[in-house]
Structure 1
Amino acid sequence: MDAARWLQLSPHLDALLELPAPARARRLDEIALQDAALAAELARMLALEAGREDFLAQPLVVPRALREGSEVGPYRLEALLGEGGMGQVWRASRADGLYQRRVALKLLRPGLADRSLRMRFAREREILARLAHPHIAGLLDAGISAEGVPYLALEYVEGEPITRYWQRLDVPLPTRLRMFRQVCEAVTHAHANLVVHCDLKPSNILVTADGQVRLLDFGIAKLLDGAAPRDATRTGTRAFTLHYAAPEQIRGGPVTTMTDVYSLGVVLYELLTGLKPYRLKRQSDAEWEEAILAHDPVRPSQMLLRQSELKADRVQRQALRRRARRLMGDLDNIVLKTLCKAPEQRYPSVEALSQDLQRHLDGQPVRARPVGALYRLQKYVRRHRWAIATAGAALGVLAIAVGAVVWQSREAMEEAHRAQAMRGFIVGVFEQAGGTPGDRALDLRALLDGAVARGDRELARQPRAQAELLGVIAGLRMGLGDDAEAKRLLDRQSALMARLPSLPAGLRLDAAAQRGQVLRRLGDAQGCIDTMIPLAPLAAGERRHLPASVAEFQSQLGRCLRARGDVDGARRLFEQALALRRETRTPGAAVEEIESRLDLAALQADIGRTHEALVGYRDAQARLEAEAGPRHPLQVDIGRQMAAVLRRQGHPGRAEVHLVDTLAAAQDLHGAQHPVTLGIRRELADVLLDQSRFRDAAVPLRHRHAVLAARYGTLHPELFDSHLALSQVEWQIERLGAALGAARAVTAIARRSGDGARTVRGLLAQAQLLHEAGRSEEARPLLLEARALRSASAGAADPLVAEVDRALGEVDAALGQPGAIARLGRALHFLEAGYGPRDPRT
């Protein structure tokens, strides 16, 4: 068995070996629901343990039954205190009469040959030998019995778990905090000796009758000085207690002193509220892991208030409310700081946590502050970017964002002043925009502009906060389809970030992904690649710590590579992002996983595997409906992509059905004038044109054109495609003047922007209209100009050159020019090669 598999199996096997047969069977059934292969392998190993004498070289049970009165080395066993997969703990006393003292005798299962477990036991002996502290149960003796059983004789602590002690005696809050500081002192001593406990929980923290704390069980502790071989700690790092484990332990990431800070935070939460930090519907391991990795803990005071609402007894209800009020503010903030998902956002040490608790007891300001609202907002925007595309949702997000800026940046202000500043900032932005926070008709773009301007004033000396705000507002701008304005904001963000001496990896990756996305949407895929590639090594190194940010970075870079035609490079990144999102249980991860599946399906369409692409789209559609319902904004994107593939397959009628439904959903979600809705109108017009339903196609085209012209002006580049499509439709419904006017506008827009390909399109459109009107002599010079322009840059085999050649062949045939038939034959060949034989352009 390889090390990785044993790393996965070992903690489960330890836990199962502790259980009686009925409970063991139930636990195996629970594991099977999540991982059938894992459950089967565990069952096989348990069967070996039960039926083979040579399992793990020796039986995992004591060959000579230990009982009260048995002797192990110089100790006589008095009572079994506990038993686990690794061994047993007995209360014992000296049998040789050298001195009279009770000990806690920890025994490794006799004959156990598994190297990692023996090393774990030896490492615990080494760790305890380092530690000498009044609040740590110390090592008194160690040895091996005559039968070869390793043992550790530890200080025997006659006490009870700290949670039970506090509940039984109803210990006052200040006393609880002082007692918890004893725990912090013990853990700080361990950290000073380069030892991380890794399994802090109430059952490992006992309180004696005189109120003194003793910290126990360093069985899976980790040395930080590299004294232990690498494989000596790897098995142990997964043998934690799930409910008290830090996110990095769940992910298998590096364990540091801040891992113990998190576990102490869970213990403190339980000591203050009697409950654990997360509200779960079920209590499965999978749900616990998801909560630890992804869910925000409930504020302790809020947890008590919720509990008070469940109490029928008025006295109990009032008592819980009084307790909740005592936790509000400092203690809420202290606990939540210990429970931050990212280690660097927790207290830098257990000593710092202890000092903050003492500051609270002394009535002094504490270091802990509420978790940054702007940071939470950035994560929300990324997770819910599809929903934020709607103006109403964006308005709500902005109301949070503009308030969060001042609230987060003015850490020196008192709480009341901070809240007042937040309210004033929000109201000020809405007043400047000429509306109120509840006014959905408010011009959201004006509101965003006001937020930027006000942020510039308020955050002139806070470049990082200003950069974060610009990223949030740029995301909202992209949601509204304002990509050019989003890029301008991101340019400013880049300039601000360049001034800062250091930046968190997550902010750097998120900013690069956002900038790459907007560059690609503006047609600059190479600029996207140039922006993101330098940060690829950083992303690779942060896969364990920042899986959501890395997956988003990989997705955006993959889309840019796809836009540049690098199918293999894009596929690798899409597959890596999908794997990360499968592993990451964060809010929004399921929908983001579906996005990755869509990326892979789109690649299938790119290489002509349209059937496989449709299968991928349908699978994503079903998954999304099961996860988020039928009206999720991502369903709009799926509908558009499916319609594009059906059109490519030569099924415009089926594509039309998808687009009609998709248009209705887009109007409901985004509104009639949103760029997404306007884009679908254009796509619907295209499939109607494919079916020669020109008058029907004119309706969505004219609607879209009117909105765009009102927004940008008639000769803006955004109207290029609209003029081009209208020129075709107006001609087909016998409006030649309008058709030629639209075609000339196409050419004028392209020439003004210096876009050669678009200039060719405009010239081709004008020439085709003139030819159809019987004015072939006027058409031919336009086609010759178009052909010369395109072939010079793209070569004679380019599909657009072939389109021009086809039109030129038709004009030459009408004018009786020699070589017309040969030109048409060459054009057909290159059209089939470029677009496929069933494409409408062929």
Structure 2
Amino acid sequence: MNMPLPCPPEHWSAFSLRLDEAMAMPEAEREAWLAALPASDVVLAPYLAAVLRHLSAPETGAPPLHAPRLSPTAEHRPGEAVGPYELLAPLGEGGMGTVWRARRADGAYAREVALKLPHAHLLVGSVRERFERERDILASLVHPHIATFLDAGLSERGQPYLALELVSGQPITTHAQQRALSVAQRLALFDQVLAAVAHAHSRLVAHRDIKPANVLVNTQGQVKLLDFGIAKLLHGQDDGLALTRESLPATPRYAAPEQRKGGVITVVTDVYALGLMLHELLSGQAAWPQGWREAQSQPPLPSSVVAEAALRRTLKGDLDAIVHKALQPEPAQRYASVAALAEDLQRYRLGRPIAARRITPWVRAGKFVQRHRLPAALGLGLAASLLAGVVGVAWQAHQASEQARRAEAVKNFLISVFEGADPRLAGNRARGMTPVRELLDRHASRIDTDFATDPQLRIELLGLVAALYRELDEPAAAQRFADRFLTLATEHLGPQHAWVLSARVERLAQVYSQGDLPDCRSLAAPLDAEIRQAGLDASELRAAWWLNTALCHADAPERGPERLRWLTQSEALFARTAPGSRGHVTAWVELANLHSAAGRFEPALQGFQRALALAESQPRRNEVELQTLHGNMGLTLQQMGRLDEAAAAYGRAAEVAERTVGAAHPTSWEPRANHLRTLHLAGQREAAWALLPELQAAIEAAEQRPDVRVLMANTREHIGERMAAEGRGAQALPWLRSAVALHEQSSTYPFAHRRALRHLGDALARAGEESEAGRVLADALARYEAADPAGRQAVVAARERYARWLLAAGQSAQAGAQFERCIADAESKTWAHVALAQAGAARVALMAGRLLDAQAHSAQALATWSTVTGFRDVRMQAYLWRVRAAVLERDPSTRQEAGALWAKALAAAQRTDAPGAATLTQPQTLPL
């Protein structure tokens, strides 16, 4: 039964904060503390006094009815069951509840957890609904530096519980003190904390109670942030989207001013708590040693509270300024985000000017010397300090002048490019008639000659032109200028300059898009060390490297766990350094793709939804990203069997593409072909084929373009495969033969070539070309077996289709062996082709007169279909009904049931097969 609140509900927020403050001080000081409460909190005094008296009373005393029970041993005992968990030992307690080490007792999984048991009276309103909603949000915070949220619920007795990853370690400040870590090492640990908080902020979840006790460092030196969003889970009532929230209970010593005043909480509330932690981590002392009452203004700077002279010198200046800005009493004066705080710390490490501090020419010159120690030492070693200052100021002025000159030169170059479209100039075409590509082609070649004496400006312009060609979807021209940019930048700026490294990471993406994954991996490997040596490990560049390295291993299924780790790190770092950027969206997309490829469709769908929301929220929406996202969501929904939703998602992808580049553009073909194919899979045949004429005209118009072979092959394959699937094998053959030939010419995606061969073999069989069909299907299966393990879904699908051909060719024994192998290789998988293999085994048994085996296999096929995951076609169920009907016909007692199944199968075939297909006139042949 829930306990009543120990104070009127309208005072609970302030009461909870004050109670935590009182419990943190010795008992002897509490009475004086009560007497000194400010006028605004005097109303709380009697309620606080009652609870504090109870806490000090002997255990035998009866508790007052309005007092919360705060002792874990009084409420719970080892061995007690709370929901599906068994309590093992208490780990700690506080004003919000208790924490126990516990284990899962229902056998769902074997692991120990940290089980938080909040006091029941803290929960009001629609508890169960709120728990179910919020636990899904918190469980989505998958990050290497956030303790995993596992579960939440209510026990049968109404006890709320929160199950989290059990972390063994020390608070970050204790860890740093005991190991006497250097300032650089402490900042490296703090970077991990920032990455974790930024990751959650990007998902609209704030922490609200960041303090050293909630940041543990394990034995491997890795940070784990605890209790993320717990206050939100206990008290949240928003719509799940807004990060801003009214004030919630927090540890007073680490609460921001707006929390203490009951104001609005935003991301900068967490920035304040991070500033307090950074202060304590650097100085070794809490910013407010005595508690909340002391925290009425800004704390002293870290350098002012340390005794060691060397440490004081290190902290003074930039680090003091960073902490000072994070701890501004007014939220608007702090860092605007965790990413901004992280960026300033990165500038400090790189010796660059920080945003938190107004920089003088002297300081700027000093930082330049720090970044270029050897050249500075050689050039300025004999100069007097006054001369050094003058040179620094002159250098700064010169740099500003040079930047202005280069900006003017870039502007003039671009103006000269687009003057080519001015119809007022002699020889120019009418307005709007000169394509941008042609304008660039005319003038880009001038860069090397017009700017031959200014290498840096030449480098900038080459990079700009490469980007313009890339946006115009001219990959060959873009690569030509990108290569020139990289050569010159390496020559003039050095191999570890950020521009050079960025260009090399961009090159990874280009090589990946061309399908050359071995080359992609060979280019990625040396970049790892070079990014680290350049001091860019916490930059957007590193996030892009992780992303592209994961993509470069897309053909290595055994590297799945590493790819998941790389993509998770990439997404978290993008969230810190470039939230909402194209790289950030792509990291989410690839994370979702990885989940989808592993059959984890729910997290895949959630990932695509997050990416889509992020992409659509940007001021300038990237249509290419939106098209990809809708398409990937379509594929995931298709794998989940939600075919109507999948078709709608593919339709949105096609609409975006056609709105952006037009229906005839190759970029539009594949999403529209996927739309057609998914409508057909869902049984909407007429709607599917209504899309064909325009699509066919577009691809025939681009027949001779070698740069669109892969898109052409995929589009033709989708159309041909669907024609064959509904019984139009002869019409499907030209489409599929063309697709196979195009895949052979490109050799970029061998898995697509294997898939097209299997579909071609199927069409040949349906067209009556049995001999060639058998050869092609056997070839496809051999290629699958050589490339993939026997239990992979694609191998099972190829084997099942070849087995059906063997059965149609009268080779029932060989067909039966292949069907049985499909079933054995797939083990307990619920794939559509496993159901087809079980139906095939039933047909073989029926032909051999083994009625009981046929009955068992046909029943199992329908049972598998009812739980199928991944690819499916509504026509498959009609085929399974026909097989089952043929089996039931052999038993007089089930012939009536067989007749009903034949009727259902025939009705389905009329909806989904072409008129005149074998399924209508010869159901006894059981084709698919």
| C-alpha contact 2:657 2:668 (8 A) present in aligned 1 | yes
Counting only pairs closer than 5 Å after superposition, residues 547-626 of structure 1 correspond to structure 2 as 547-565=539-557, 566-584=559-577, 589=580, 592-626=583-617
Structure 2 residue aligned with 1:745: 738
| C-alpha contact 2:531 2:542 (8 A) present in aligned 1 | yes
| C-alpha contact 2:256 2:273 (8 A) present in aligned 1 | no
Whole-Å separation in 2 of the counterparts to 1:44 and 1:459? 51
Whole-Å separation in 1 of the counterparts to 2:716 and 2:190? 63
Of 801, 807, 813 in structure 2, the residue corresponding to residue 813 of structure 1 is 807
Structure 2 residue aligned with 1:685: 676
- Label 1:60 to 1:557 Cα distance change in 2 as closer, same or farther (>3 A): same
Structure 2 residue aligned with 1:407: 409
- Label 1:544 to 1:238 Cα distance change in 2 as closer, same or farther (>3 A): farther
CA offsets 1:594-628 (integer angstroms, 9 cap, x no match): 44333333332222111122223334434544554
Compute the displacement of 1:480 (Å). Answer: 4.4
Compute the displacement of 1:352 (Å). Answer: 7.6
Of 392, 397, 400 in structure 2, the residue corresponding to residue 368 of structure 1 is 400
Letter in 1 for 2:531: A
Whole-Å separation in 2 of the counterparts to 1:694 and 1:118? 77
Whole-Å separation in 2 of the counterparts to 1:666 and 1:676? 7
| C-alpha contact 2:719 2:735 (8 A) present in aligned 1 | yes
Whole-Å separation in 2 of the counterparts to 1:570 and 1:795? 20
Compute the displacement of 1:684 (Å). Answer: 0.9
Of 632, 638, 643 in structure 1, the residue corresponding to residue 629 of structure 2 is 638
Task: Please say which of residues 723-732 and 814-823 is displaced more in the overlay.
Answer: 723-732
Counting only pairs closer than 5 Å after superposition, residues 492-511 of structure 1 correspond to structure 2 as 492-497=484-489, 499-500=491-492, 502-503=494-495, 505-511=497-503
- Count how many residue pairs are aligned between Structure 1 and Structure 2: 561
Q: Which ranges of structure 2 fall in alignment gaps of 5 or more residues?
A: 1-172, 177-185, 194-209, 212-254, 280-286, 381-385, 833-868, 877-928
Whole-Å separation in 2 of the counterparts to 1:802 and 1:122? 68
- Label 1:455 to 1:776 Cα distance change in 2 as closer, same or farther (>3 A): same
SS of equivalent to 1:259: coil
SS of equivalent to 1:119: coil
- Label 1:480 to 1:831 Cα distance change in 2 as closer, same or farther (>3 A): farther
Structure 2 residue aligned with 1:117: 305
Compute the displacement of 1:534 (Å). Answer: 0.8
Compute the displacement of 1:657 (Å). Answer: 1.8
CA offsets 1:787-818 (integer angstroms, 9 cap, x no match): 44554455665655544433332222222124
- Label 1:440 to 1:651 Cα distance change in 2 as closer, same or farther (>3 A): farther
SS of equivalent to 1:567: helix
Of 718, 740, 748 in structure 2, the residue corresponding to residue 725 of structure 1 is 718
Structure 2 residue aligned with 1:539: 531
Whole-Å separation in 2 of the counterparts to 1:774 and 1:260? 74
| C-alpha contact 2:508 2:523 (8 A) present in aligned 1 | yes
Structure 2 residue aligned with 1:839: 870
| C-alpha contact 2:631 2:650 (8 A) present in aligned 1 | yes
| C-alpha contact 1:477 1:485 (8 A) present in aligned 2 | yes
Compute the displacement of 1:516 (Å). Answer: 0.9
CA offsets 1:494-525 (integer angstroms, 9 cap, x no match): 44455446145321231122111111112223
Letter in 2 for 1:604: H
SS of equivalent to 2:348: coil
Task: Please say which of residues 437-446 and 575-584 is displaced more in the overlay.
Answer: 437-446
Q: Does 1:666 align with 2:649?
A: no
Whole-Å separation in 2 of the counterparts to 1:698 and 1:807? 25
Counting only pairs closer than 5 Å after superposition, residues 48-63 of structure 1 correspond to structure 2 as none
- Label 1:467 to 1:682 Cα distance change in 2 as closer, same or farther (>3 A): farther
- Label 1:120 to 1:612 Cα distance change in 2 as closer, same or farther (>3 A): same
Whole-Å separation in 2 of the counterparts to 1:508 and 1:701? 46
SS of equivalent to 1:608: coil
Compute the displacement of 1:771 (Å). Answer: 1.6
- Label 1:488 to 1:835 Cα distance change in 2 as closer, same or farther (>3 A): farther
| C-alpha contact 2:447 2:458 (8 A) present in aligned 1 | yes
CA offsets 1:383-407 (integer angstroms, 9 cap, x no match): xxxxxxxxxxxxxxxxxxxxx6x91
Of 346, 353, 361 in structure 2, the residue corresponding to residue 259 of structure 1 is 353
Structure 1 residue aligned with 2:159: none
Counting only pairs closer than 5 Å after superposition, residues 299-314 of structure 1 correspond to structure 2 as none
- Label 1:435 to 1:758 Cα distance change in 2 as closer, same or farther (>3 A): farther
Compute the displacement of 1:473 (Å). Answer: 3.9
Compute the displacement of 1:528 (Å). Answer: 1.8
SS of equivalent to 1:658: helix
CA offsets 1:86-134 (integer angstroms, 9 cap, x no match): 59xxxxxxxxxxxxxxxxxxxxxxxxxx99624378988xx8xxxxxxx
Compute the displacement of 1:651 (Å). Answer: 1.4
SS of equivalent to 1:598: helix
Whole-Å separation in 2 of the counterparts to 1:776 and 1:548? 56
Structure 2 residue aligned with 1:521: 513
Compute the displacement of 1:529 (Å). Answer: 2.1
| C-alpha contact 1:723 1:743 (8 A) present in aligned 2 | yes
Whole-Å separation in 1 of the counterparts to 2:292 and 2:787? 77
| C-alpha contact 2:540 2:573 (8 A) present in aligned 1 | yes
Whole-Å separation in 2 of the counterparts to 1:28 and 1:440? 61
| C-alpha contact 1:614 1:645 (8 A) present in aligned 2 | yes
CA offsets 1:379-438 (integer angstroms, 9 cap, x no match): xxxxxxxxxxxxxxxxxxxxxxxxx6x915xxxxxxxxxx6555335435989x999899
Structure 2 residue aligned with 1:157: none
| C-alpha contact 2:303 2:311 (8 A) present in aligned 1 | no
Letter in 1 for 2:344: I
Structure 2 residue aligned with 1:443: 435
CA offsets 1:337-382 (integer angstroms, 9 cap, x no match): 9999x989xx99997885687799xxxx9552364799xxxxxxxx
Letter in 1 for 2:681: D
Whole-Å separation in 1 of the counterparts to 2:818 and 2:601? 31
Whole-Å separation in 2 of the counterparts to 1:708 and 1:337? 60
| C-alpha contact 2:758 2:777 (8 A) present in aligned 1 | yes
Structure 2 residue aligned with 1:378: none
| C-alpha contact 1:548 1:581 (8 A) present in aligned 2 | yes
Whole-Å separation in 2 of the counterparts to 1:800 and 1:24? 56
| C-alpha contact 1:656 1:684 (8 A) present in aligned 2 | yes
| C-alpha contact 1:481 1:674 (8 A) present in aligned 2 | no
Structure 2 residue aligned with 1:512: 504
| C-alpha contact 1:526 1:564 (8 A) present in aligned 2 | no
Counting only pairs closer than 5 Å after superposition, residues 146-545 of structure 1 correspond to structure 2 as 220-221=316-317, 238-239=323-324, 250-251=344-345, 253-254=347-348, 259=353, 354=390, 366-369=398-401, 371=403, 407=409, 423-427=415-419, 442-459=434-451, 465-483=457-475, 486-497=478-489, 499-500=491-492, 502-503=494-495, 505-541=497-533
Structure 1 residue aligned with 2:227: none
Task: Please say which of residues 31-40 and 525-534 is displaced more in the overlay.
Answer: 31-40
Compute the displacement of 1:646 (Å). Answer: 0.6
SS of equivalent to 2:401: coil
Whole-Å separation in 2 of the counterparts to 1:744 and 1:569? 38
Letter in 1 for 2:546: Q
SS of equivalent to 1:770: helix
Percentage of pairs with the same residue: 18
CA offsets 1:561-614 (integer angstroms, 9 cap, x no match): 345332222222223223323333x5x646654443333333322221111222
- Label 1:758 to 1:42 Cα distance change in 2 as closer, same or farther (>3 A): closer
